[in-house]
Amino acid sequence: MASKWKFTIKDLAEKPEIFMSGHRACAGCGPAIAYRQILKATRGPIIATNATGCMEVVSTIYPYTAWSIPFIHTAFENVAANAAGIETALKALKKKGQLKYDNVDVIAFAGDGGTYDIGIQALSGAAERGHNFLYVLYDNEAYMNTGIQRSGGTPHGAWTTTSPAGRVIPGKVRYKKPIAYIMVAHDIPYVATASIAYWIDLVRKTRRGLEAEGPAFLHALAPCPRGWRYDTSKTVEIARSAVETCVFPLWEAVDGEYALSAPSKVIALKPERKKPVKDYLKVQGRFRHLFTPKFEYVIDEIQQIIDRRWKRLLKKCGMT
Amino acid sequence: MAITKQNLLALNGDEAVAYAVKQSDVDVVSAYPITPQTIIVERFSEYVHNGEVDTEFVCVESEHSALSMCLTASATGVRVFTASGSAGLALMHEILYVTSGARAPVVMAIVNRALSGPINIHCDHSDSMVERDAGWIQIYVENSQEAYDSIVQAFRIAEHNDLLLPTMVMLDAFFLSHTLESVNVLPDETVRKFVGTRKIPLVRGHKGKLVPFKLDPENPITMGPLDLYDYYFEHKRQQEEAMQRAPRIIKEVHDEYARISGRKYGNGLIEPYRLEDAEIATVCLGSTAGTTKTVVDQLRTKGIKAGLLRLRTYRPYPVQDIINALENVKAIAVMDRSHSFGAHGGPIFHEIRHTLYEASIHPQIVDYIYGLGGRDMPQTLIHEIYKDLQKILETKRVEKPIQFIGVRE
Ligand SMILES: Cc1ncc(C[n+]2csc(CCOP(=O)(O)OP(=O)(O)O)c2C)c(N)n1
Ligand code: SF4
């Protein structure tokens, strides 16, 4: 399914903005950057739907909107069903000869809460039924819209308001749910991970997801300065660090066949380039408590989890 | 217009619904089975798999997704249908409000079934009664014939550009859903012509231009936005204004349908039965009205001035029609097939009593909670209610305003 689409930075710069300025995201908001980049990859008529969460809230405050394409939000847990409804209606219109276009792309956006947790049922159902749409998970690793509560996507050891760094329990106890693997296991044509720090990779993967015939899933790590507790200027740096430390490796699975993407492949080929997870953790306030003698052991645990997962991924990608 | 020649089919209520949907040129059906609504989905699956209908039919993984899909499909501009009841309807609860708020004219059949727990698959109205405030039009039918007729009408009502209100048609579990009846069905072309194609109204779009109210890449609009205290209230008020226009449109559609089918259900909103000179009357909805009509006839042969008021649309609630129908009745028994725990009687009782406060004559009024979880409501029990009413008429006193009937004490 190699996309023939080639683009230069100039092409992207000249493309009209779909996610427009004037939205009310915080300064340095990773998801807002992700949206802007992702929507640069569109190929024609497109309809977007969004689960409840930060990005919907900041972009559609009535009577304003940051969307220059048709957009609908309905609820928190059902965006995959919403996308399925749009896709099915388009099919019906096409059958009746009432659709002006050969193809209309459908794209669904949701945060980690709307995906790992409350939305996974609708997502799994839509994937199983084979609806043709791209699902974008913008992962800021907590429920930000309701004030930084833990989700199934919150990593091990992270502070959130419902997994606080207490005297006894240091942050989130359990690990991050491997959502993208779960989506690959649905046997859908396209699954990929991406990071806003590697925008060429992100844009290209979005396009591949849109071009896939059937459900496509794009997991984009999108740091949130509010929830992760870092300076707003550091968003892209942190997104890059997640890849360099293998906390968030970049790969894609086309028809279930895994392959590492360039930024992670480099590390696979030159393991000495793999940075310690400590580098990633120490710049974020949400992990600050781990740098006290009492909880240092958690950093080791995290490193072990990351290493184990990295090894497993290399195997999947045939790199061992 | 002459009454169209029709076919007489033996259908149960669920099949009558599925048949009406098949004929109504529906673009998208998305549903999830729940007893006793299952037959609707099963029959419709057969139509699809036998190529009898070209609807896009999606069997989803839950009722929540069924309605979510219908909502956005409707927002994309097509005609949609779903069906549910009981726990399934409860699972849709949140999306019911979103659907009406989005002004998506979804049509849904509800087979009324009790709500857990304990789990029970039989008829009562506790599922749809709790959704009466969700901004949907609610039509309760008496028999399978009416179920068929009402589904056809529902598409015209919901999609009417002065309304754009999602519409649910309620039929009683098993009493209707699983009971074979003779149902007159119109020819396919007649129904198709009656329902017509869905017309999309124009609204002001992003740039102040008039654009179709749908998800359309050529004329992008943002639907389902965050609506804070500065606009939300106005939007809710618009929903209420649409509800105020609904009685007129329901009546118009009902009358137009009557002209081609020869079938009428009162004025489309209420169906008074032998009420002109009635001194005592019951108020109910759904299949119980059929049994009650038989009882009224029996009482009339004995010279007892009994009558019945069946509510067909419960939302919008036809206040003035109810006042006009009941104003001269001296003692009224409301029959509630659901209960509002801890309240002073069931939901219909609340509204009827409240309504008659505005009438010039204030009749005596009592409430009977009956038939929960499918408990039978035989003629004998309905006779008892009328007997109580006669006593109230004589003594001019209500001893017990709220009673459970047909329950072991
Ligand atoms: C059924 C339901 N439960 C809870 C909420 C409240 N709620 C709205 S957004 C949200 C969290 C969103 O988190 P996420 O999906 O991670 O997106 P983010 O806000 O982080 O971008 C919650 C809990 C809701 N709207 N609906
Ligand atoms: S809280 Fe985080 S995700 Fe939400 S708008 Fe602010 S920076 Fe973006």
- pLDDT value, residue B196: 98
Residue A75 neighbours by CB under 8 Å, 6+ apart: A51, A52, B68, B94, B95, B98
- pLDDT value, residue A320: 84
Mark yes or no for CB contact B61/A124 under 8 Å: yes
- A99 CA: distance to closest CA in chain B (Å): 10
**Three-state DSSP class for residue A141:** coil
Q: Rounded mean pLDDT of B267-281? A: 98
Residues of A in Cβ contact (< 8 Å) with B93: none
Confidence of residue B207 (pLDDT cuts 50, 70, 90): confident
Q: Which of A137, A145, A177 to mutate to test the pocket of ligand 1 (most atoms within 8 A of CB)?
A: A145
> Mean pLDDT for each 10-residue chunk of chain A (320 residues)?
84 95 96 98 97 98 96 98 98 96 98 98 98 98 98 98 97 96 98 98 98 98 98 98 98 98 98 98 98 97 98 96
Closest CB to A78: pick one of B68, B74, B227. B68
Residue B167 neighbours by CB under 8 Å, 6+ apart: B105, B106, B107, B108, B136, B137, B138, B139, B154, B157, B158
Mark yes or no for CB contact B217/A47 under 8 Å: yes
Which ligand number lies closest to the CA of residue A235? 2
Question: In terms of CA atoms, which chain B residue is nearest residue A70?
Answer: B220
Which ligand number lies closest to the CA of residue B91? 1
* For residue B1, pLDDT beyond 80: no
Ligand 2 centroid – CA A26 distance (Å): 5
| pLDDT one-digit tens code per residue, B358-400 | 888 889 999 999 999 999 999 999 999 999 999 999 999 999 9
Which ligand number lies closest to the CA of residue A25? 2
| pLDDT one-digit tens code per residue, B73-122 | 999 999 999 999 999 999 999 999 999 999 999 999 999 999 999 999 99
- pLDDT value, residue A1: 58
| pLDDT one-digit tens code per residue, B122-158 | 999 999 999 999 999 999 999 999 999 999 999 999 9
Share of chain B above pLDDT 90, in %: 97
Please, what is the average pLDDT of chain B? 97
- pLDDT value, residue A2: 62
- A107 Cβ under 8 Å from any chain B Cβ: no
- pLDDT value, residue B121: 98
Residues of B in Cβ contact (< 8 Å) with A96: 27
Ligand 1 centroid – CA A149 distance (Å): 9
Mark yes or no for CB contact A81/B64 under 8 Å: yes
HEC assignment per residue over B216-283: CCCCCCEECCECCCCCHHHHHHHHHHHHHHHHHHHHHHHHHHHHHHCCCCCCCCEEEECCCCCCEEEE
Task: Tell me the C-alpha distance between A91 and A68, whole Å.
Answer: 23
Q: Give me the interface pTM, i.e. the ipTM.
A: 0.96
Nearest residue (by CA) to ligand 2, atom 7, is A29
Cα–chain center distance at B307: 22
DSSP string of B8-76, one letter each residue: EEEE-HHHHHHHHHHHTT-SEEEE---TTTHHHHHHHHHHHHTTS---EEEE-SSHHHHHHHHHHHHHT
Mark yes or no for CB contact A89/B27 under 8 Å: yes
pTM above 0.95, yes or no: yes
- pLDDT value, residue A237: 98
| pLDDT one-digit tens code per residue, A10-30 | 999 999 999 999 999 999 999
Q: Which of A50, A76, A79, A224 to mutate to test the pocket of ligand 1 (most atoms within 8 A of CB)?
A: A76
- A247 Cβ under 8 Å from any chain B Cβ: no
Beta carbon of A225 within 6 Å of any ligand 2 atom = yes
